[in-house]
Amino acid sequence: MSTFYLKIISSDRVFYEGPCCSLIIPAIDGEQAIMAHHEEIIIAVKNGEMRMQTEEGGEWTYAVLGEGFCMAANNRVTLLADTVERPEEVDANRAREALERAKERLRQKQSIQEYHLTQAAMARALVRLKETEKFVR
């Protein structure tokens, strides 16, 4: 199986840079898989679980993604996201607090923009908690 060059960038660091066999990301219209020699594409990424396999038959690496974009062209893939965290890096207590704050804000009267921002914060907190519970014991 051939590889492609992958660079994953969050707002505060370069999460990964190097070869990759397979990348699965959460997109607006469902999960998208990218493999070597993928057609040129730009994908809107939503909050969710990302999986990547850096070598054929190797271990899958999981991460929690924030919203962003992914571009594939010329056997190179660049993924830009608000946040990218390994499940063990997620602070579960902080995620629970963020979820409670978002739930409280949803109970209050808000503008449409505030409502959408609150829903995005709630979705991010839920994804972070789900990944923490799934992988960190």
* Res 1: pLDDT: 63
Q: In this structure, are residues 34 and 22 in contact, taking their beta carbons and an 8 Å threshold? A: yes
Q: Encoding tokens for residue 72? A: 């594939």
Reported pTM: 0.77
Each residue's pLDDT, cut to its tens digit, for the chain (137 residues) gives 689 999 999 989 999 999 999 999 999 999 999 999 999 999 999 998 999 999 888 899 999 998 999 999 999 999 999 989 887 877 778 878 888 888 888 788 778 888 888 888 888 887 877 777 776 55
* Res 79: pLDDT: 97
| Torsion over CA: 95, 96, 99, 101 (sign) | negative
Tell me which amino acid residue 64 is: V
List, in sequence order, every residue forming a beta bridge with 33; answer none if it has no partner: 24
Which residue is listed with tokens 């469902």?
A: 30
